[in-house]
């Protein structure tokens, strides 16, 4: 007999606690195989396909596309051992005799077999034959392994699309409050908002962040009047008191204002930049360099090897050589130990703009790669960033970052360091400018280079020496050959 198993959003690693459903790859009634991708989700690191460790018939899906779910929330249920929807309906448990208020809510667009709350089955001999074990996002599920079990913190609603109920202490009492996001609960706690008094505007009454923010705004606008207005001697009980005068509309309430949630990649970038600006005492130095000879050397390299070597790869090769001479800038600061940790390998990040925002893929062991290898890896990671297929491992672990803002047609910038790194080299556009060359005024190809560095890891002398060496290699590529 078929057995219904519940598959939850797995632990995605890299400190990630939630993910947004981008696209469902299966529908209710579909037959899925073990390790088959069933949903595409976007985390704060990347967009990944999540494989299901069970094989059978999909009986329920949880969450519409665009819904953000925490790790451990139900994704779908699978009737293991069923080969068609008819078998799956027979495997579903009988509905409860007493329906809860939430069970009476309208059913979602794609409901499972009528009425039942999916059963989380224990690992049995029959189930283990149809499951592969723990899910590793982006890598399949591997050989059979013991499945991790999580303690359910709240009962599931009978509606597949209903959010899990989280118990939120309010005024010393605990009870079910329809809140999924831990950020919403934290925001309410920090501002003293009673979640029991809110009516959620989300699906099935789910309390969203905007609901809490509106409650905070109402409290802020009503607090002054409550202090200044004298209390009446006796409040009438038969009729409610007059409604207060409407508060001035907040900027976000005006027509035409758009609210863009800071989540996914954009939210992760915001958090990292905020932390960097808060923790790192950064400084910036810059220099103009004559890149005419560098461009000529790149043309000669392309003609010799028959493959196009990108300008970013040439700068990366110069950068790794400069870091070998100034290893202080390839480091991080351990605040707990009050130590500067110098790193032996250069894992070179580079800023790339995509439709979903800024991402910084990382080229591993860049110090050991040739210009051709660097160019190929930059191209591969850039394409993966544009298509949204970068893995969390390709977006983390960088030790130094290159930022080529010249592609946007600008000359200079003072970027924010990619925490927890210690420095970032910026490259402006290369444009023809008047330049004194060999004692005479000439038109040369000039680029502005900037170095933003953590002043805790080095002083201006080290940073200036690094940047000067990079500029010397740009102006005279033979300098790089002498140091290899």
Residues involved in catalysis: 455
Long-range contacts of 332-339 (CB under 8 A, 24+ apart): 332/399, 332/420, 332/421, 332/422, 333/280, 333/420, 333/422, 333/454, 333/456, 333/457, 335/279
- Which residues touch 64 (CB under 8 Å, ≥6 apart)? 21, 108, 109, 161, 203
Q: Which residue's structure tokens are 């110098």? A: 342
- Using CA atoms, how far apart are residues 330 and 421, in angstroms rounded to an integer? 8
Polymer length in residues for the chain: 484
Q: Which of 53, 2, 64, 1 is nearest to 28 (CA)?
A: 64
328, HSE (Cβ side, Cα atoms, 13 Å): 15
275, HSE (Cβ side, Cα atoms, 13 Å): 10
- Using CA atoms, how far apart are residues 468 and 326, in angstroms rounded to an integer? 11
* Three-state DSSP state, 351: coil
- Which residues touch 79 (CB under 8 Å, ≥6 apart)? 2, 3, 4, 56, 57, 59, 87, 88, 91, 92
φ/ψ region of 13 (left if φ > 0, alpha if ψ in -120 to 50, else beta) reads: left
Tokens at 45, concatenated: 């690191």
> Taking the mean position of all CA atoms in its chain, how far away is CA 68?
12
The answer to whether 279 and 433 are in contact (CB under 8 A) is no
């Amino acid at each position: 007999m078929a057995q219904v198993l519940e598959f939850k959003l797995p632990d995605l690693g890299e400190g990630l606690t939630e993910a947004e459903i981008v696209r469902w790859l299966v529908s209710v009634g579909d037959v899925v195989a073990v390790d088959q991708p069933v949903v595409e989700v976007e985390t704060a690191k990347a967009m990944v396909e999540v494989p299901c460790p069970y094989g059978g018939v999909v009986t329920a899906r949880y969450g519409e596309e665009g819904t953000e779910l925490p790790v451990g929330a139900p994704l779908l249920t699978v009737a293991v051992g069923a080969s068609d929807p008819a078998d799956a309906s027979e495997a579903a448990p009988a509905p409860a005799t007493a329906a809860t208020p939430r069970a009476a809510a309208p059913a979602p667009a794609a409901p499972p077999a009528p009425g039942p709350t999916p059963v989380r089955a224990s690992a049995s001999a029959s189930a283990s034959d149809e499951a592969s074990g723990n899910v590793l996002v982006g890598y399949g599920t591997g050989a059979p392994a013991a499945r991790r079990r999580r303690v359910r913190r709240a009962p599931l609603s009978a509606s597949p699309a209903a959010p899990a109920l989280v118990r939120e202490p309010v005024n010393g009492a605990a009870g079910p409050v329809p809140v999924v996001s831990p950020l919403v609960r934290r925001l309410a706690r920090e501002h003293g908002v009673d979640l029991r008094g809110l009516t959620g505007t989300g699906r099935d009454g789910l309390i969203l962040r905007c609901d809490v923010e509106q409650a905070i705004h109402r409290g802020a606008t009503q607090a002054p009047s409550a202090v200044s207005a004298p209390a009446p001697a006796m409040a009438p009980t038969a009729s409610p008191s007059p409604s207060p005068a409407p508060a001035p509309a907040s900027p976000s309430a005006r027509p035409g204002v758009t609210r863009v949630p800071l989540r996914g990649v954009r939210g992760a970038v915001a958090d990292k930049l905020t932390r960097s600006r808060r923790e790192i005492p950064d400084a910036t130095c810059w220099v103009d360099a004559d890149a005419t000879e560098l461009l000529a050397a790149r043309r000669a390299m392309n003609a010799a090897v028959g493959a196009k070597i990108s300008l970013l790869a040439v700068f990366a090769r110069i950068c790794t050589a400069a870091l070998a001479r100034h290893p202080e800038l390839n480091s991080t600061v351990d605040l707990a130990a009050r130590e500067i940790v110098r790193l032996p390998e250069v894992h070179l990040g580079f800023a790339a703009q995509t439709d979903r925002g800024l991402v910084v893929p990382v080229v591993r062991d860049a110090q050991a790669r040739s210009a051709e290898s660097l160019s190929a890896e930059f191209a591969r990671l850039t394409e993966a960033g544009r298509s949204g297929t970068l893995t969390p491992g390709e977006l983390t672990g960088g030790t130094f970052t290159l930022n080529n803002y010249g592609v946007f047609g600008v000359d200079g910038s003072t970027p924010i360091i990619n925490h927890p790194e210690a420095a970032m080299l910026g490259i402006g556009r290369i444009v023809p400018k008047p330049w004194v060359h060999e004692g005479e005024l000439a038109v040369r190809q000039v680029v502005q280079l900037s170095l933003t560095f953590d002043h805790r890891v080095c002083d201006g002398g080290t940073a200036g020496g690094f940047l000067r060496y990079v500029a010397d290699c740009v102006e005279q590529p033979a300098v790089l050959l002498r140091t290899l």
